[in-house]
Amino acid sequence: MTARAAVVAGGGLAGIAAACDLADAGWSVTVLEKKKRLGGMVSSFADPAGGGEVDNGEHIAVEACTELLGLFGRLGCLGKLKRQPRLRLPFVGPDGRVAELTESAWSFLTFPFLSLGDRWRVARTLRRIGKMKDAEIGPLDNFTAADWLEDQGQTPAAIARFWDCFIAPALNEPAARGSAALAARVLRDAMGVGPEKSRFCLFRVPLGEVFADAAAAYIAARGGTVRALASVERVAAAGGRVEVRLSGGETLSAEACVLALPHDDLAAVFPESAPPLEFSPILNAHLWYDRPVTPLEVFAMVDSRIHWVFNRTAIAGLTGPGQQLSCSISAAQDWAHRPSEEIAAECDVELKRRFRGEARLVRFVVSREPRATFSARPGTAPMRPGPRTRHAGIVLAGAWTDTGYPATMEGAVRSGRAAARAVVGS
């Protein structure tokens, strides 16, 4: 019996998750990726000066990302993650003070960047969030996260110095602009059900080396095909099948097609399902120093436009004498058009203000993703479609679809698996 054929357009995490599930279900899968290799936004690029690769942007998983970690387990990639055995989240203040949140309640009770009253109010709100049901979370999409948190008794200082350290990177929008529903779901699942779910999972190797080759091998081992540099131009239903036209003129015919493309690309390929979502950018400043700046592996910056800093030297287990630090700036609309030299200089000043030492900035690379994520603002929920379209054989996947999450790796994997279920059940 000939296997049913499915085309997966887009080789990011959503497309990979869909392709793996379809291949496991016995479908003959062809993955089309317009870039040279799989990975989508979870990628890296060549660093001629250093001889290796630099990530397009820092990506964090936490233990609550069960679908993402499950996919990495299937692909044999878990060894490329550095998983915290116990929660350790350092916060660094403008004066260099370091306070670490751990799984001990005492660490929060003594957290110096919030007043005693704010600490109590944050702890009380976290307990409330941990008990929230989906039915309570959905209607919050009409409000900003800041408005919702203020209704919970949170002060501007608590929002700026605690909540936004997690909301801004997760939503790629600060609490003042982000959807309360998306913030509540992320906070509940990652922080409200126990500290063991909040433990960080960091990437030991460049993102392009984490799962791209493993995914291609997994699909090939199950009779599928991965085609790089294959750009989809148009998709249409015809005679009970799906016709996928490539930019070079070739047309593929299949029983089903998973469109795991960015939502703006969908406007050209399959316009009837393209949502009117906007984008929010992310910047990352990769800085190389002649000697160590800090022993911390990853830390949040209090009272700074830089949300998190990653010590790539320590995470990758490299030796000195120098050190590579990567500064992540979410919701970077106000930084998007600044010169790279200016961005690197400001990050350098911020770090040296906190870590006083003799380290000298040797070189830098600033990576920009102007279309990093959809803008997770209030009112976006009705714009995000589910996997099914009005054509049974054409389904949608991507972190921008209706996953209940903002544009995260976990949401992307969940969307891809939902798309595969829609295909198999059609």
Average pLDDT estimate for 234-253:
94
Residue range(s) of every CATH 3.50.50.60 domain in the chain? 5-46+208-277+384-424
How many percent of the chain have pLDDT more than 90? 88
Q: To which residue do tokens 């790539």 refer? A: 312
**Residue 100 to residue 110: CA distance in whole angstroms:** 10
Residue 193's pLDDT is what? 79
Residue pLDDT, tens place only, 137-170: 999 999 999 999 999 999 999 999 999 999 999 9
Homologous superfamily of 5-46+208-277+384-424 = FAD/NAD(P)-binding domain (3.50.50.60)
Residue pLDDT, tens place only, 128-142: 999 999 999 999 999
**Residue 194 to residue 206: CA distance in whole angstroms:** 30
Is the Cα dihedral 54, 56, 61, 65 positive or negative? negative
- Quickly list DSSP for 338-359: S-HHHHHHHHHHHHHHHS-S--
**Residue 284 to residue 322: CA distance in whole angstroms:** 19
CB-CB contact of 377 with 179 (8 Å): yes
Residue type, 350: E
3-state SS string for 165-181: HHHHHHHCCCCCCCEHH
Q: Is residue 264 scored above 80 in pLDDT?
A: yes
Residue pLDDT, tens place only, 57-114: 888 899 999 999 999 999 999 999 999 999 999 999 999 999 999 988 788 888 999 9
**Diameter over CA atoms, the chain:** 70
Residue 1's pLDDT is what? 52
